[in-house]
C-alpha cells in the first residue's frame, strides 16, 4: 500500500507528523505538504510563479505552494511514484459543514481524486489540548477499514475526530454536512501608518447541527465520516431554474 500524505497546516505540523507515522505502519509513505500554514487555501493552484519543492527527509517533501499544488505535483511527475491512497491532515481544528469549501485539508483530498481512488481528509474537532497521537490511531483505523472494505472511487471522506481522550470516543457515524451561521464580525485595527486593516473574524456557530450531521456526531463524541462529492450542483433546484427560464421563452 502506497500512501500520499498532505495537509494545509504545513509539513512540520504535529497533526501531519502523527498521521504520517501511523500511515508508515500500513505501507510506503510520501509526505508532500506546504512549507507554511495554508489553512483556508481551499483548492487554489499556483499559476503565476514556479512551484519549488524541497526534500526535508527520506520520504518528506515541502512545497512552496498550496495544498492542492502539493497533491497535484506529487501525482503529476514530481516523482516516479504513484500512490494507492491520498490522505490529508490531521488538521488543527474542525472541518464541519460550510468549512469544507474553505478547507485546504479537504482540498488536498479532493485533488487526490485524480488517481481515481477514494481520498480521506482528517480533522481534529474540539477545544483545548489536541491529542494528535490518539487521533492518528483513529485515522489509521479508518484507513484500515477502507483498505479492507473499499468505497466507490469517487468518494472523498471528510473525517472529523472529536478531540476527547480516545477512551471517551463512542464510535463512528456516517453523517451529512451541517451548516454554520455567517462568520463573526471583522476585527478592525489601525496599522502603524494609520491605515485601517481588517482581520477576518471567527467561524460562525453551528446553525444546522441536527441529528445526522457532522456537528451532531462530533459534539456527542462520535467520529464523523461524511462522504463528499465534487458535484456541487443543486439537483433539486434544476427544475425550478428550468421553470424560471420559461418566463423568458427559453
Ligand atoms: Mn489547517
Joined together, the cell numbers standing for residue 3 give 500512501
* pLDDT, position 118: 87
* d(CA 90, ligand 1 centre) in Å: 8
197 assigned to some structural domain = no
* d(CA 15, ligand 1 centre) in Å: 10
- Give me the chain's average pLDDT, please: 96
**Strand duo 222-228 + 156-162: pairing:** antiparallel
Q: What is the pTM of this model?
A: 0.96
pLDDT above 90 covers what percent of the chain?
A: 95
CATH of the domain at 55: 3.40.1210.10
* d(CA 39, ligand 1 centre) in Å: 4
Q: Which domain, by its residues, includes 31?
A: 2-178+208-247
Instruction: Write out pLDDT tens, residues 121-171.
Output: 999 998 778 899 999 999 999 999 999 999 998 899 999 999 999 999 999
* pLDDT, position 150: 93
Burial label, 195 (beta-carbon count in 10 A; 0-12, 13-18, 19+): exposed
32 assigned to some structural domain = yes
Confidence of residue 46 (pLDDT cuts 50, 70, 90): very high
**Residues around the ion ligand 1 (C-beta < 5 A):** 8-9, 39, 91
* d(CA 169, ligand 1 centre) in Å: 23
Q: How many domains does the chain have?
A: 1
Joined together, the cell numbers standing for residue 81 give 511514484
Residue 75 has phi, psi (to 5 degrees) of -95, -5
Q: Which helix (H) or strand (E) holds 171?
A: strand 171-174
Amino acid at each position: 500500500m502506497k500512501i500520499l500524505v498532505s495537509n494545509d497546516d504545513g509539513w512540520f505540523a504535529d497533526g501531519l507528523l502523527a498521521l504520517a507515522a501511523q500511515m508508515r505502519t500500513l505501507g510506503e509513505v510520501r509526505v508532500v505538504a506546504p512549507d507554511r500554514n495554508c489553512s483556508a487555501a481551499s483548492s487554489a493552484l499556483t499559476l503565476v510563479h514556479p512551484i519549488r519543492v524541497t526534500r526535508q527527509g527520506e520520504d518528506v517533501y515541502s512545497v512552496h505552494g498550496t495544498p492542492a499544488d502539493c497533491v497535484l505535483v506529487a501525482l503529476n511527475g514530481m516523482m516516479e511514484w504513484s500512490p494507492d491512497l491520498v490522505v490529508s491532515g490531521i488538521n488543527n481544528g474542525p472541518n464541519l459543514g460550510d468549512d469544507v469549501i474553505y478547507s485546504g485539508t479537504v482540498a488536498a483530498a479532493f485533488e487526490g481524486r485524480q488517481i481515481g481512488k477514494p481520498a480521506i481528509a482528517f480533522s481534529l474537532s474540539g477545544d483545548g489540548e489536541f491529542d494528535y497521537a490518539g487521533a492518528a490511531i483513529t485515522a489509521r483505523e479508518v484507513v484500515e477499514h477502507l483498505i479492507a472494505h473499499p468505497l466507490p472511487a469517487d468518494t472523498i471522506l471528510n473525517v472529523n475526530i472529536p478531540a476527547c481522550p480516545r477512551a471517551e470516543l463512542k464510535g463512528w457515524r456516517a453523517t451529512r454536512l451541517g451548516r454554520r451561521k455567517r462568520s463573526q464580525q471583522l476585527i478592525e485595527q489601525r496599522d502603524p501608518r494609520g491605515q485601517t486593516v481588517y482581520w477576518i473574524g471567527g467561524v460562525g456557530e453551528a446553525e444546522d447541527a441536527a441529528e445526522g450531521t457532522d456537528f451532531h456526531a462530533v459534539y456527542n463524541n462520535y467520529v464523523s465520516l461524511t462522504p463528499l462529492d465534487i458535484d456541487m450542483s443543486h439537483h433539486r433546484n434544476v427544475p425550478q431554474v428550468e421553470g424560471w427560464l420559461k418566463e423568458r421563452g427559453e
